[in-house]
Amino acid sequence: MAERLSLSLTLSPSPPTPAPTTMAAFSTTASSRILSSTTAAAASSRARLSFSSSLKCFQSSPLVSHLFLNQKRSPMVRVSERGLSSTASPKCAAASDPDQLQSAREDIKKLLDTSFCHPILVRLGWHDAGTYNKNIQEWPQRGGANGSLRFEIELKHAANAGLVNALKLLQPIKEKYSGVTYADLFQLASATAVEEAGGPKIPMKYGRVDVTAPEQCPEEGRLPDAGPPSPADHLRNVFYRMGLNDKEIVALSGAHTLGRSRPERSGWGKPETKHTKDGPGAPGGQSWTVKWLKFDNSYFKDIKERRDEDLLVLPTDAVIFEDPSFKVFAEKYAEDQEAFFKDYAEAHAKLSNLGAKFEPPEGIVINDGPSEPAPEKFVAAKYSSGKSELSETMKQKIRAEYEAVGGSPDKPLPTNYFLNIIIVIGVLAILSSLFGN
């Protein structure tokens, strides 16, 4: 299964120099007449401007024929090996709907429970955000978490091998919640996968705007390699470009506690080990840890000890215990899981926001609990404050109890004449007894 891929930004092999490629032009006519180069360029430009990335425009995605195997093509769209041709594309909203975000998260949890796809979903979010360049101010040229990884041109980057399978897993959720952007869905899935695997709660925010066309994808080469000549320098060059520091580099490396590397996809790892031969999911690959679906600090412990030859250690993994600055944090995390969780949660949240454009600008925070608060348990001491005025909560409780026995602010309780007679007789008996004595 695709979900058995390793998740790291540092996993991919050094990509070969890519052959020059040209994005296929959009066409606004079904005619077979050959257009002049000037006319074709103008038609291509107009169609690109109208391209959209939300689910309402889902049929216009260049991934339709290559990515979503069961998705029917729209009669308005034609996909070929050269690219996408479309006669029209509706304009779609950018920011995500908070209620749909919360519902999508619940569906992602169900997906994780049945597909064991935690590693590849973490990797998907990382690779969408990891193209960020802090030295470029303009959006989307600066890269980052903008949903560009859904386009075929970026999926073909060597570092993204196998991530098409993560998109297949998320496709039904994207179809169901069209009010969630791809950029948000990728980061939501990544954070949820970490949390559901036993990792820390990540302080996420949402509302990321999607890029709208493949021309807005970043160039290849922004993600790190697994086996560069100088691993420490390479990691710093890549992660410093994103605005991250040594502590964040080491903390994020700890996410290798999840997942496996498959040599047929990344060029690294064994085809199978004693830890992966039985799954879960499709067997095979080489993991960094024994329990590769559990998020903990075992990655640091296993690299430090190196007692198991069936566990993977890449050059970019080994260097965190060799470089003096990296080693300080790696040693700390190997001994203190709580410290690792704290630093990882902060680093993951920071990575997920890199390069993103938010609408609204402050972002959207979704709650963890139920939408309706549970009834508060009554504790008498809580209301015994010594104040003469009752709290609003106490007033509401008294009112509820009053209405429960038939009363209301508009009418008194029904009169019980028999009870009134008994009370009068009792009072007279007491008075008679007192005066008689």
Comparing C-alpha atoms, which of 99, 413, 358, 47 is closest to residue 212?
47
127 is catalytic: yes
pLDDT score at 415: 61
Each residue's pLDDT tens digit, 378-413: 454 554 445 556 667 777 777 777 677 666 655 555
How many angstroms separate the CA atoms of 144 and 141, rounded?
Answer: 9
How many angstroms separate the CA atoms of 140 and 322, rounded?
Answer: 36
- Containing H/E element for 80? strand 77-80
Establish whether the linkage from the previous residue to 360 is cis, with ω within 30° of 0: yes
Residue 65 has pLDDT above 60, yes or no: no
Mutual angle of helices 164-176 and 118-129, in 10-degree steps: 90
How confident is the model over 346-371, as a mean pLDDT?
89
Establish whether the linkage from the previous residue to 280 is cis, with ω within 30° of 0: yes
pLDDT score at 329: 98
How many angstroms separate the CA atoms of 316 and 298, rounded?
Answer: 17
How many angstroms separate the CA atoms of 230 and 252, rounded?
Answer: 19
> What is the DSSP annotation of 319-347?
GGGTSHHHHHHHHHHHH-HHHHHHHHHHH
Half-sphere exposure of 168 (CA within 13 A, CB side): 15
DSSP-derived 3-state class of residue 153: helix
Catalytic position from the list 66, 118, 127, 256: 127
Of residues 225 and 218, the one with the higher pLDDT is: 218
Residue 49, amino acid: L
Rounded to 5 degrees, φ, ψ at 305 are: -85, -40
Going by pLDDT thresholds of 50, 70 and 90, the confidence category of residue 85 is very low
How confident is the model over 259-281, as a mean pLDDT?
85
Of residues 4 and 426, the one with the higher pLDDT is: 426
Let me know: does 223 contact 131? Beta carbons within 8 Å. Answer: yes
How many angstroms separate the CA atoms of 157 and 127, rounded?
Answer: 11
CA angle at residue 334 from 257 to 122, to 5 degrees? 25
Rounded to 5 degrees, φ, ψ at 364 are: -125, 130
| Of the candidate ranges 80-84, 118-122, 235-239, the one whose mean pLDDT is the lowest | 80-84
Each residue's pLDDT tens digit, 286-307: 999 999 999 999 999 999 998 8
| Of the candidate ranges 31-45, 109-123, 129-143, the one whose mean pLDDT is the lowest | 31-45
**Which position has the token pair 């308005």?**
76
| Of the candidate ranges 35-44, 58-67, 70-79, 145-154, the one whose mean pLDDT is the lowest | 70-79
Residue 71 has pLDDT above 70, yes or no: no
How many angstroms separate the CA atoms of 328 and 316, rounded?
Answer: 16
The pLDDT mean for the chain works out to: 78
pLDDT score at 204: 97
Rounded to 5 degrees, φ, ψ at 9 are: -65, -20
Let me know: does 126 contact 351? Beta carbons within 8 Å. Answer: yes
Number of Cβ atoms within 10 Å of the Cβ of 347: 23
**Highest-confidence range of 201-215, 223-237, 414-428, by mean pLDDT?**
201-215
How confident is the model over 35-45, as a mean pLDDT?
40
Residue 63 has pLDDT above 50, yes or no: no
Residue 21 has pLDDT above 80, yes or no: no
How confident is the model over 124-130, as a mean pLDDT?
97
Comparing C-alpha atoms, which of 180, 192, 266, 201 is closest to residue 8?
266
Share of the chain above pLDDT 70, in %: 69
Alpha helices in 177-308 (DSSP H): 182-196, 231-242, 246-253, 263-266, 298-305
Residue 372 has pLDDT above 80, yes or no: no
CA angle at residue 222 from 217 to 227, to 5 degrees? 140
Radius of gyration from C-alpha coordinates of the chain: 30
